[in-house]
Amino acid sequence: MSIQAGETMPSGSFGVMTESGPGTLSTDELFSGKKVVLLSVPGAFTPTCSLNHLPGFVEQADELLAEGVDTIACMAVNDVFVMHAWGKDRGVGDKVTMLADGNGDYVRALGLELDGTGFGMGMRGQRFAIVVDDGVATHVAVEEPGKLEVSKAEAILASL
């Protein structure tokens, strides 16, 4: 069963790129005492993710922060090097924290995995956005396959 609004986010960790190379960020470090928008994309450098989903959050970052969001984070089942390169390519700067869920452990813990084997992508994460307040999911927006409506930046901004 997938995460629902009102439930505590599962514990876990993500790969992140630091100044000294690959590192980790725990869910406690990410969520504790903060309001976080966690978006997930099926894959870095894929068309909808690169052209619409992630850029919307970069463009709307100031508005999200003005509504009390402390951190905007983007996760995908990709390695830390890919997520770092994708963030640079998309010009996220310090507006979006790029999180690698390399083996898909966190997306599985959320119950939001996606079988992309038919597209040669293996197991991935569904497209979604979750608003997390001090470790509790307060808004969960999971997209229907092939859609970008409920998890786009404008929809999440309207939900705050």
pLDDT at 45: 86
Q: Tell me the C-alpha distance between 107 and 125, whole Å.
A: 6
Active site residues: 49
The answer as to whether 85 is a domain residue is yes
Q: Which domain holds residue 20?
A: 13-159
- Catalogue the E-assigned strands of the chain: 13-18, 21-26, 35-40, 71-76, 97-100, 113-115, 123-125, 128-133, 136-142
pLDDT at 136 over 80: yes
pLDDT at 121: 74
Strand, helix or coil for residue 44: coil
The per-residue pLDDT of the chain, averaged, comes to 94
The answer as to whether 128 is a domain residue is yes
The answer as to whether 35 is a domain residue is yes
Mean predicted confidence (pLDDT) in 5-20 = 97
The answer as to whether 92 is a domain residue is yes
The answer as to whether 130 is a domain residue is yes
Q: Tell me the C-alpha distance between 106 and 12, whole Å.
A: 6
The answer as to whether 146 is a domain residue is yes
Model-level pTM? 0.94
Domain count, the chain: 1
Q: What is the CATH number of the domain that holds 126?
A: 3.40.30.10
Q: In the numeric block, which tokens belong to residue 92?
A: 């996220």
pLDDT at 41 over 90: yes
